[in-house]
């Protein structure tokens, strides 16, 4: 049997206690099997057993929610079937859905029917959004019940949640049935897209990764709250010192405004009809970019870029170019402000999301069009050193020191891919340069000028370019920088047109100076223009909307995919069971190490993993992690071998 399925519960994980409704739809017959522990319905556990014995089960977000929910209430539930998650497929196949949604919404507006696809649904992969797109409305049970709760005077969020989901009702059962109907229609739509030239490897990979990351999310990452409190005090003190320094550099200004009173006011000295001058002392506010721009202009600065509001652009990049001491102080102030936002003040601050020394960061396993993961809460955490510039990052190490193993006494193991971007480039260029770029990457010598960045510098010799500048230039080119930006990197000044001229010449010089690069770009551009997409290393389609970013799209995608494959290899090697099976059968299925007990992933970021490991398993995990990265390269037949590095310590600062 093959089923589309969905369930309704009395809450969210990990707190839910009841499965109110379970609905299965026979894919072959199109019939609904509706289960509830209520009169005139077969029992929920009967439906759970049917699903467990099925050949295929398909649902929306079932890897993260429905299956763990069923296993929490029915611990014996061990589905032996293949699981297809339409949320995983949606994010894979329609990774750039936002662009299509904008066009669809505008189309509905022109027709005078914007309600058929509301702006609130743009870019979303929810079942509700797909219901609108497919013309199969999901239903509004939740919204209706919430409105009822508010009408009854219920305001507390938890109380509203209980009112909506705490007790079974017929409307809830109908809602669950309609969810399954929408899911079936979505599955058929996505399957039709897969049949149009998509590789099977990417589908299997994204599902395997989803199982492993769902486990990671439930496990969480340790967070040292005591150390965080001390760090917060340090940051606040540092920011106050900088604030005081800025007040000395930029003294308060007296602002005068003239107004004509409409009535007498003896207390304030107003006389009706007589102009009155108001004087207000306004201290410098570093949070006001308008004030900052005005004060910097007072020092002699001449802005080159302006925002849509007409205020000069003052960001880190601009401040870094200014020689005024005040600019350096401002830049440092903003760094501290950013650290405080991440730690305590922002909407997704770490301290706001920590409970009992643990944070559960959300990960969207295919959040970017390239296949990269995207993150919430624990995101863009600075390290000791900026990878791109090599410069030390203020309080970067202190930020990472806060993240540690969940289990006290365990060791943190961190593993990352060595020079992943360069090795990915070498792989693709190898088809055109006979392996020259890979050879320079692996065996080139900086001192002898035979490494790739030195080769780029030679190509840019006309502009007297040093190796570090050449490195910056090359990555900017690969990441899709326009000619004006490339010109700026080489020191071009003057008008935008002048910078573009320098950038264009330099781009052409590098394309000719690095064998194979121009051929690779031309081949990719030709393919993108002909079919609208290029093919990722695992057979996925990467839609190209702007050819200037084509290299970045290809390279970033390959890096993300190979690290996902390495993740699956590592998880399989450690446990002896595929991540999907681990997620379904639980730790007792492992033939080697048990995920969640003998090891577990805490963080996955681009080219690195952070794991929580008991001391007895540290060496095993280290060796397996580095080997997994090498094997992932072999899996995709990389023309340049991949290499992993592993470190151990007490926290993230020690391990990366």
User: Looking at the predicted structure, is the pLDDT value of residue 204 above 70?
Assistant: yes
Q: Is the pLDDT of residue 589 over 70?
A: no
Give the model confidence (pLDDT) of 402-447 as tens digits.
999 999 999 999 999 999 999 999 999 999 999 999 999 999 998 8
Q: What is the mean pLDDT of residues 82-100?
A: 96
Q: How confident is the model at residue 333 (pLDDT cuts 50, 70, 90)?
A: very high
Q: Where are the alpha helices (DSSP H) in 77-140?
A: 86-93, 97-110, 127-134
Name the residue among 403, 199, 238, 408 with its Cα closest to residue 329: 238
Per the model's pLDDT, the better-predicted residue between 377 and 256 turns out to be 377
Q: Measured between alpha carbons, how far apart are the two ends of the chain, in Å?
A: 48
Q: Is 631 exposed, middle or buried, given 0-12, 13-18 or 19+ CB atoms closer than 10 A?
A: middle
Higher pLDDT: 274 or 37? It is 37
- Say if residue 391's pLDDT is above 90: no
**Residues 543-557 pLDDT 10s:** 998 888 899 999 999
Confidence of residue 11 (pLDDT cuts 50, 70, 90): very high
Q: What is the CATH number of domain 2-196?
A: 3.30.420.10
Q: Which of 66-70, 178-182, 221-225, 464-468 has the lowest mean pLDDT?
A: 464-468
Confidence band of 269 (pLDDT split at 50, 70, 90) = confident
pLDDT computed for residue 585 by the predictor: 56
Following DSSP, what letter does each residue of 22-88 receive, concatenated?
EEEEETTT--EEEEESSTTS--HHHHHHHHHT-SEEEESSIIIIIHHHHHHH-TT----SEEEEHHH
CA dihedral 384, 217, 119, 542 (to 10 degrees): 70
> Which residues have C-beta within 8 Å of that of residue 524, sequence separation ≥ 6?
534, 547, 550, 551, 554
Q: Which of 428, 438, 388, 385 is nearest to 537 (CA)?
A: 428
Domain boundaries defined on the chain: 2-196, 226-345, 423-538
For 341-469, strand residue ranges (E) read 354-355, 358-359, 362-364, 374-376, 403-404, 411-417
Tens digits of residue pLDDT in 559-583: 999 999 999 999 999 998 877 766 6
3-state secondary structure of 4: strand
Q: Which residues pair with 478 in a beta bridge?
A: none
What CATH number labels 423-538? 1.10.150.20
* CA distances, 41 to each of 34, 154, 487 (Å): 7, 31, 71
- Helices 452-459, 467-478: axis angle to 10 degrees equals 90
pLDDT for res 461: 92
In which region does residue 393 sit, left (phi positive, over 0), alpha (psi from -120 to 50) or beta (all else)?
A: beta
Average pLDDT value over all residues in the chain: 93
Q: 226-345: which CATH architecture? A: Up-down Bundle (1.20)
Lowest mean pLDDT among 253-267, 320-334, 337-351: 253-267
DSSP 8-state symbol, 435:
T
The pLDDT value given to residue 587: 52
Phi-psi region of 270 (alpha: psi -120 to 50; beta: other; left: phi over 0): beta
Percentage with pLDDT > 90 across the chain? 82
**pLDDT: is 280 or 187 the higher one?**
187
Residue 588 has pLDDT above 60, yes or no: no
**Model pLDDT, residue 626:** 96
C-alpha separations of 338 from 39, 155, 316, 548 in Å: 56, 34, 12, 31
Distance CA 511, CA 526 (A): 16
CB 351 within 8 A of CB 343: yes
520 pLDDT exceeds 70?
yes
SS3 345: helix
- 330: Cα within 13 Å, side-chain hemisphere: 27
């Amino acid at each position: 049997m093959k089923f589309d399925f969905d369930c309704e519960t009395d809450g969210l994980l990990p707190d839910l206690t009841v499965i109110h409704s379970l609905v299965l739809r026979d894919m072959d017959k199109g019939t609904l099997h509706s289960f509830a522990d209520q009169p005139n319905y077969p029992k929920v556990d009967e439906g759970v057993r049917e699903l467990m014995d099925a050949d295929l089960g398909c649902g929306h977000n079932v890897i993260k929610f429905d299956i763990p929910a069923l296993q929490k209430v029915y611990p014996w539930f061990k589905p032996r079937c293949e699981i297809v998650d339409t949320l995983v497929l949606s994010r894979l196949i329609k990774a750039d859905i936002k662009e299509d949604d904008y066009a669809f919404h505008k189309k509905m507006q022109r027709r005078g029917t914007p309600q058929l696809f509301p702006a609130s649904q743009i870019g979303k992969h929810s079942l509700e959004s797909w219901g609108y797109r497919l013309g199969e409305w999901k239903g509004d049970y939740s919204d209706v019940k919430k409105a009822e709760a508010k009408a009854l005077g219920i305001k507390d969020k938890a109380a509203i949640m209980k009112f909506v989901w705490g007790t079974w009702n017929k409307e809830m059962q109908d809602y669950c049935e309609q969810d399954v109907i929408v899911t079936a229609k979505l599955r058929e739509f996505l399957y039709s897209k897969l049949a149009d030239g998509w590789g099977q490897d990417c589908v299997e990979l994204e599902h395997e990764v989803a199982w492993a990351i769902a486990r990671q999310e439930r496990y969480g990452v340790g967070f040292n709250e005591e150390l965080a409190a001390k760090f917060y005090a340090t940051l606040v003190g540092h920011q106050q010192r900088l604030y005081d320094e800025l007040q000395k550099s930029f003294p308060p200004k007296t602002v005068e405004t003239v107004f004509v009173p409409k009535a007498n006011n003896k207390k304030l000295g107003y006389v009706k009809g007589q102009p009155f001058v108001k004087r207000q002392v306004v201290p410098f506010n570093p949070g006001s970019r308008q004030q900052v721009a005005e004060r910097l202009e007072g020092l002699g600065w001449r802005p080159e870029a302006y925002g849509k509001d007409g205020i000069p652009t003052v960001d880190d990049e601009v401040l870094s170019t200014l020689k005024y001491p005040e600019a350096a102080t401002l830049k440092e102030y903003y760094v501290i402000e950013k650290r405080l936002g991440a730690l305590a003040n922002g909407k997704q601050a770490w301290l706001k999301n920590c409970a009992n020394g643990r944070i559960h960061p959300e990960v969207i396993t295919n959040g970017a069009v390239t296949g990269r993961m995207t993150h919430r809460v624990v995101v863009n955490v600075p390290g000791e050193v900026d990878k791109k510039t090599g410069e030390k990052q203020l309080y970067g190490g202190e930020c990472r020191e806060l993240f540690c193993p969940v289990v006290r006494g365990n060791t943190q193991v961190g593993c990352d891919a060595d020079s992943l971007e360069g090795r990915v480039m070498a792989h693709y260029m190898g088809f055109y340069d006979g392996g020259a770029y890979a050879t320079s990457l692996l065996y080139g010598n900086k001192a002898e000028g035979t490494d790739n960045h030195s080769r780029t510098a030679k190509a840019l010799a006309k502009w007297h370019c040093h190796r570090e500048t050449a490195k910056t230039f090359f990555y900017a080119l690969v990441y899709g920088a326009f000619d004006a930006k490339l010109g700026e990197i080489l020191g071009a000044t003057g008008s935008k047109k002048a910078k573009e001229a320098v950038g264009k010449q330099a781009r052409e010089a590098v394309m000719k100076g690095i064998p194979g690069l121009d051929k690779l770009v031309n081949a990719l551009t030709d393919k993108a223009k002909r079919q609208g997409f290029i093919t990722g290393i695992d057979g996925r389609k990467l839609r190209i909307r702007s050819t200037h970013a084509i290299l970045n799209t290809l390279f970033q995608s390959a890096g993300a995919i190979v690290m996902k494959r390495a993740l699956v290899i590592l998880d399989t090697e450690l446990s002896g069971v595929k991540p999907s099976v681990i997620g379904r059968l639980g730790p007792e299925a492992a033939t080697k190490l048990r995920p969640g007990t003998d090891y577990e992933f805490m963080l996955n970021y681009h080219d690195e993993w952070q794991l929580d490991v008991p001391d007895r398993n540290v060496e095993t995990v280290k060796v397996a992690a580095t080997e997994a990265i090498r094997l992932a390269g072999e899996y995709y037949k990389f023309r340049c071998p991949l290499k992993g590095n592993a470190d151990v310590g007490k926290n993230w600062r020690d391990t990366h």
